[in-house]
Amino acid sequence: MIVSEIDIVIQKSNRKTVSIFIERDGSVSARVPEKLSDEEIRDILKAKEYQIFKNLAEWTQLNENAVEREYVNGQSFLYLGRNYRLKLVDEKLDGVQFKRNTFFLSKEDKHKAKELFIKFYKDKLNSKIYPIIERYKNQLGVEPNQVKVMELQNRWASCTPNGNVNFHWKCAMAPIDVLHYIVVHELSHLIHNNHTKAFWNEVDKILPKYDEQVNWLKINGVGMSL
Ligand SMILES: [Zn+2]
C-alpha cells in the first residue's frame, strides 16, 4: 500500500492496534488488525504519516553513521569528532600513527589493525582525559579515586561505588566538547549516583549547553566503532 509516497507492507494479524516498523533494510511495514478495511488502514497510516517520516529519517541517520570499517586505504576513522583517512604504507611503523590529518599503518600490521587502533585511541584518551578531569573536579568539588581508560560494555563511561571512574577508549572518537560533557557527566555521578533532576542540575551548572553534546552522542554514538 502506498501512503504519502511511501510503500508500506501491510501485515494483517489478530491484533487490536496498528504498529509501524522500520525494518532493518529501511523498508516500512505496518501490522494491522485483520478486521480493518483497506480504506480504514489507509486513513490510520495517513494520520501517522509524521511519525513514519520521523522514524525513517532516524533510520537513515543511524545507518549513515553505522559504518562497517575495513582496514584498507582510504577508509575513514573518527578521531576527536572528525573523520580521517587511513593510508597503508610499506615502511615499518610503531602501531597506528596520526600525522598530517592522516592515519598511517604499516601493511605488515594489517592483520592486527583493530588492536593497534584500539591502542591508539587508548593512548590518546589517556593523554587528553586527565587535564579535563583536573579542570572539572575542583568545580564540582569531587575527587575520583582512580581513573581508567578501558573497554566498557555499551556505555561511554562508568563509575563505581568507591569512586573509580572508567572511560571507554571510544571516547577519543568524540569531539572535545563531547569529551568534556562525558567527564562532567561521570564526575557528577560522584555527587548523585543517579539521573535525577538534581544530577542534571549539577551537569547544567557546569555545561549549560550539554544538550548539544547529548544530541551529538545520540546521532553519532552508533558510528563510534571500529
Ligand atoms: Zn549517567
- Using one digit for the tens of pLDDT, what is the confidence trace for 150-159? 999 889 999 9
| Of 178, 225, 176, residue with least CA distance to 75 | 225
Residue type present at position 73: N
CA 193 – ligand 1 centroid, Å: 8
CATH fold for the domain made of 125-223: Zincin-like (3.30.2010)
CA 179 – ligand 1 centroid, Å: 14
Range with lowest mean pLDDT among 20-29, 31-40, 137-146, 216-225 = 20-29
Enumerate the domain spans of the chain. 2-65, 76-116, 125-223
Q: What is the pLDDT of residues 40-96, one digit of tens each?
A: 999 999 998 888 888 888 887 777 766 678 899 999 999 999 999 999 999 999 999
Query: How high is the pLDDT of residue 222?
Result: 81
Dihedral sign from CA coordinates of 137, 143, 149, 153: negative
Cell of 156: 561511554
Query: How high is the pLDDT of residue 67?
Result: 67
Residue 191 pLDDT > 80: yes
CA 224 – ligand 1 centroid, Å: 18
CA 187 – ligand 1 centroid, Å: 9
Beta strands in 1-75 (DSSP E): 2-3, 6-13, 19-22, 28-33
Task: Name the band, by pLDDT with cuts 50, 70 and 90, for residue 223.
Answer: confident
